[in-house]
A and B are shown apart, each in its own frame.
Chain A
Amino acid sequence: MIENKSFSARFGRLTIYAIVIFLALTCLLPLWNIVAISFSGGDAVASNKVGLTPINTTFEAYKMIMEDSQFWRSFGISIQRVILSLVINMVLIVTMAYPLSKTKREFRGRGIYMNLLIFAMLFNGGMIPTYLVVKNLDMLNTIWALVLPGAVQVFSIILVMNFFIGVPKSLEEAAIMDGANPLQVLIKVYIPISMPALATVALFSIVGNWNDFFSGLIYMTKVTNYPLMTYIQSLTISIEEMLKAGATSSDLANAGEVSNKNLNAAKIVVSCVPLLLIYPMLQKYFITGIVVGSVKE
Chain B
Amino acid sequence: MFQQPHLKIENGKDPLASTKRKKSKKIVTKEEMFYHSMLLPGMIFLIIFTFVPMFGVIMAFQDYVPAKGIRASEFVGFEHFKYMFSLPDIGKLFRNTIVIAIGKIVLGSLLAIVFAILLNEVRLKLLKKSIQTIVYLPHFLSWVVLASVVVNMFSLDGTINQILAFFGIDKLNFLGSNKLFQPLLIGTDVWKEFGYNSIVYLAALTAIDPGLHEAASIDGANWWKRIWNITLPGMLPIILLLAVLSLPNVLNAGFDQVYNLYSPMVYESGDILDTYVYRVGLMGREYSFGTAVGLFKSVIGIILIISANNAAKKYTDRKLF
Tell whether any CB of A sits under 8 Å from a CB of B in the complex. yes
Q: Which residues of A contact B (CB under 8 A)?
A: 1-2, 4, 9, 12-13, 16-17, 19-21, 23-24, 26-28, 30-31, 33-34, 48, 92, 95-96, 98-100, 102, 105-110, 113-114, 116-120, 122-126, 128-130, 132-134, 137, 148-149, 151-152, 155, 157-159, 161-163, 165-170, 173, 177, 181-183, 186, 193-194, 196-197, 199-200, 203, 207, 211, 233, 236, 238, 261, 264-265, 268, 272, 275-276, 279-280, 283, 286-289, 292-293, 297
Listed residue (A129, A155, A157) with the most chain B CB atoms within 10 angstroms of its CB: A129
B38:A98 contact, CB within 8 angstroms: yes
How many A-B residue pairs have C-beta atoms within 8 angstroms? Tell me: 259
Bound-complex Cα distance A286 to B144 (A)? 32
Bound-complex Cα distance A168 to B7 (A)? 9
Chain A neighbourhood of B146, CB < 8 A? 30
Bound-complex Cα distance A123 to B294 (A)? 9
Listed residue (B43, B149, B207, B295) with the most chain A CB atoms within 10 angstroms of its CB: B207
- Chain B, Cβ-Cβ closest to A232: B142
Q: Which chain B residues numbered 23 to 55 have a C-beta less than 8 Å away from chain A?
A: 23, 30-32, 34-36, 38-39, 41-43, 45-46, 48-55
Is B177 engaged at the interface, CB distance under 8 Å to the other chain? no
Bound-complex Cα distance A133 to B45 (A)? 12
Instruction: List 10 tightest A-B contacts by C-beta distance, closest first.
Output: A129-B56, A125-B53, A125-B56, A99-B35, A129-B53, A166-B1, A196-B203, A166-B2, A182-B34, A95-B38
- Chain B, Cβ-Cβ closest to A128: B56
A194:B1 contact, CB within 8 angstroms: yes
Bound-complex Cα distance A99 to B145 (A)? 43
Chain B neighbourhood of A9, CB < 8 A? 222-223
Listed residue (B39, B213, B248) with the most chain A CB atoms within 10 angstroms of its CB: B39
B211:A293 contact, CB within 8 angstroms: yes
Bound-complex Cα distance A166 to B235 (A)? 12
Is B210 engaged at the interface, CB distance under 8 Å to the other chain? yes
Is B131 engaged at the interface, CB distance under 8 Å to the other chain? yes
A109:B35 contact, CB within 8 angstroms: yes
CB distance from B66 to the nearest CB of A (A): 8
Interface residues on B, range: 35 or more
- Chain B, Cβ-Cβ closest to A96: B42
- Chain A, Cβ-Cβ closest to B195: A27
Q: Contacts A133-B48, A152-B42 given; 11 further ones with Cβ under 8 A?
A: A21-B131, A34-B141, A102-B35, A116-B46, A118-B321, A124-B298, A137-B48, A163-B207, A183-B34, A196-B207, A289-B206
Q: Which chain B residues numbered 220 to 259 have a C-beta less than 8 Å away from chain A?
A: 222-223, 237-238, 241, 245, 248
Bound-complex Cα distance A275 to B136 (A)? 9
Choose among B3, B203, B302 the residue that contacts A199 (Cβ–Cβ < 8 A): B203
Choose among B16, B43, B132, B245 the residue that contacts A158 (Cβ–Cβ < 8 A): B245
CB distance from A104 to the nearest CB of B (A): 10
Choose among B7, B32, B241, B321 the residue that contacts A114 (Cβ–Cβ < 8 A): B321
Q: Which residues of B contact A (CB under 8 A)?
A: 1-3, 7, 16, 19, 23, 30-32, 34-36, 38-39, 41-43, 45-46, 48-57, 59, 66, 70, 115, 118-119, 121-122, 129-142, 144-146, 148-149, 152, 191, 194-196, 199-200, 202-204, 206-211, 213-214, 217-218, 222-223, 237-238, 241, 245, 248, 287, 290-291, 294-295, 298, 301-302, 305, 320-321
B118:A123 contact, CB within 8 angstroms: no
Write 24 A-B pairs (CB below 8 A) sorted by A numbering.
Answer: A1-B213, A2-B218, A20-B115, A24-B130, A31-B141, A34-B141, A34-B149, A96-B38, A107-B35, A108-B32, A119-B302, A123-B54, A128-B56, A128-B59, A148-B45, A159-B241, A166-B1, A168-B7, A181-B30, A197-B203, A272-B140, A276-B137, A288-B208, A289-B206
Given A4-B217, A129-B54, A272-B140: A92 touches B35 (CB 8 Å cut-off): no
Interface of chain A, main secondary structure: helix
Bound-complex Cα distance A1 to B217 (A)? 9
Given A126-B291, A268-B145: A169 touches B16 (CB 8 Å cut-off): yes
Listed residue (B45, B59, B301) with the most chain A CB atoms within 10 angstroms of its CB: B45
A236:B206 contact, CB within 8 angstroms: no
Given A133-B48, A166-B3, A166-B207: A106 touches B298 (CB 8 Å cut-off): no
A279:B132 contact, CB within 8 angstroms: yes
Bound-complex Cα distance A93 to B142 (A)? 28
Chain A neighbourhood of B321, CB < 8 A? 100, 114, 118, 158, 161-162
Chain A neighbourhood of B141, CB < 8 A? 30-31, 34, 268
Choose among A13, A126, A152 the residue that contacts B59 (Cβ–Cβ < 8 A): A126
B241:A280 contact, CB within 8 angstroms: no
B38:A183 contact, CB within 8 angstroms: yes
A200:B203 contact, CB within 8 angstroms: yes
CB distance from B247 to the nearest CB of A (A): 10
Choose among B46, B56, B207 the residue that contacts A120 (Cβ–Cβ < 8 A): B46
Listed residue (A16, A123, A166, A286) with the most chain B CB atoms within 10 angstroms of its CB: A123
A27:B55 contact, CB within 8 angstroms: no
Choose among B152, B194, B222 the residue that contacts A48 (Cβ–Cβ < 8 A): B152
Chain A neighbourhood of B191, CB < 8 A? 26-27
CB distance from A73 to the nearest CB of B (A): 21
Chain B neighbourhood of A28, CB < 8 A? 134
A280:B133 contact, CB within 8 angstroms: yes
CB distance from A291 to the nearest CB of B (A): 9
Given A96-B38, A128-B287, A236-B144: A120 touches B138 (CB 8 Å cut-off): no
- Chain A, Cβ-Cβ closest to B117: A16
Chain A neighbourhood of B118, CB < 8 A? 16, 19-20
